[in-house]
Each structure stands twice: as C-alpha cells, then as structure tokens.
Structure 1
C-alpha cells in the first residue's frame, strides 16, 4: 500500500517510507558516510557513521577491502590472528544494498584469512540482522577461532 501525499506530509521530519531523509524545509539530504580507522596491536577498528546505501557502499567496500588486503601482510601473522572490527554504532540508515555490502565485506575478509566482525550494531540494523538470521554470522569470529582481543 503506498502512502498518499497527505500521509507523508503528516509524518514528522526525517525519513519518508522508502525514501531519502527529508529536512523540515522539504529538501532531501544524502548524509555522507564517514570512516575513521584506528589500529592497536593486531586489531584494526573502523568506525562507520552516516548512511550506508547505494550511493555510499562503494566507499565502504573499497576502504575495508584495502585494509583487509594488507592486514595480514602488514602484521605478518597467521590466518585469523589479525582482527578487523567494524564499529557500526554511527550508522543512521542502512538500505538493502548496504546490507548486501556488509555480507560481501565479511565474506571477503574471511576468504583472506582476516577475522572481521561488525560491532556496536545500532538497534535499527540489529533488528534487520536478527530477522534475516545474519546477526550471529556477521558479529561472530570465524568458526573454531577465539574472539578477538582489543
């Protein structure tokens, strides 16, 4: 069932059903994706904030791909002894393409022998991951490996 113009106008400022963020002035806003990377021992943490959608997934994929590609070489450690934590607490929105990107990022890291886990999952994303059965898969270390230490 689609929303009539009256339904959308009656909603508080913010996101319209299935649409981009709307400011109270009526203009759309595309919130940028911000990435901050820190490294401590064999653990690399990437803090992600903003919106993860079709317009920002390539930025996240490329950033994490570069880190995962060089992580084990830079640290010269065995498979899964280099850990990448992707802190998602700052994400304000994730669409279907963003969810697909998270799955692809996790798979790529695992294939390269890097233990990657998504941490500090915001409530809106936690619900989606739980419903889809992806929560444990995306937030747990690889099978038979101890959890990463900070």
Structure 2
C-alpha cells in the first residue's frame, strides 16, 4: 500500500491584495475539502488575487482536480484573480491531458 502524505497548506502574504497558498503533500479525495475550505477562508478576507504554489504536491487525483476547479469558481464568485505560480512537470502534464491548462493560468 502506498504511503499517503497529508496535505499541508501555508498562507503567505506577498503583496497588498494578494495571498499565496502553498500546498504540499497529496491532494486527493481525503484532502480536497481542506483545500477548498482554506481557499474560501482566504478569499473571504477580500483579497484581489489568490496565487497557488502547487510545486510541493506529490499526488493529485480527480478529487484534487475537482477541488482546484472549485477554488477557481470561488475566486470568480469573489471577483478575485487566481493564478498557479508554480507546479511540477507531472502536474503540468496532468493539466494538459485534462485540458485544465485552458482554464488555469499556468506559469511559463
């Protein structure tokens, strides 16, 4: 059986109106709700942009992708921007094969 890594979220303020959410561990069925809750809390604080650092994620399943889409929708409802500022090549490929690279702004 594979060893699961708990999801950790770290909130950092970068510049006025922008919050960076750094994710590490596994974003899956068991942890997806944690991400959505953390994003809702941050976005409820009136930020104008939420940046996501996904470079520390070891694993993302379909529930994790759904959670990212939920975060995108919450940001839109709050009229806040959402950017992914860092990700692994594994996640870049995952975003491309699921066409989520057309929804999310990915770093170059």
- Work out whether the TM-score is over 0.5: yes
CA RMSD of aligned residues (A): 1.4
Aligned length: 105
Compare the two structures and name the one with the higher strand fraction.
2
Distance in 2 (alpha carbons) for counterparts of 1:87 and 1:139:
12
Q: In structure 1, what is the equivalent of residue 82 of structure 2?
A: 116
Matched, 1:35 2:1: no
Tell me how far 1:125 sits from its aligned partner.
Answer: 1.2
* Per-residue CA distance 1:5-29 (angstroms, 9 max, x = gap): xxxxxxxxxxxxxxx62xxxxxxx2
Give TM-score scaled by structure 2 length: 0.89
Tell me how far 1:132 sits from its aligned partner.
Answer: 1.7
Structure 1 segments of 4 or more deviating over 3 A? none
Mark the runs of 5 or more structure 1 residues left unpaired by the alignment.
1-19, 22-28, 73-81, 141-150
Give TM-score scaled by structure 1 length: 0.66
Tell me how far 1:69 sits from its aligned partner.
Answer: 1.5
Q: Secondary structure at the match of 1:119?
A: strand
Distance in 1 (alpha carbons) for counterparts of 2:84 and 2:72:
8
| Structure ID, larger Rg | 1
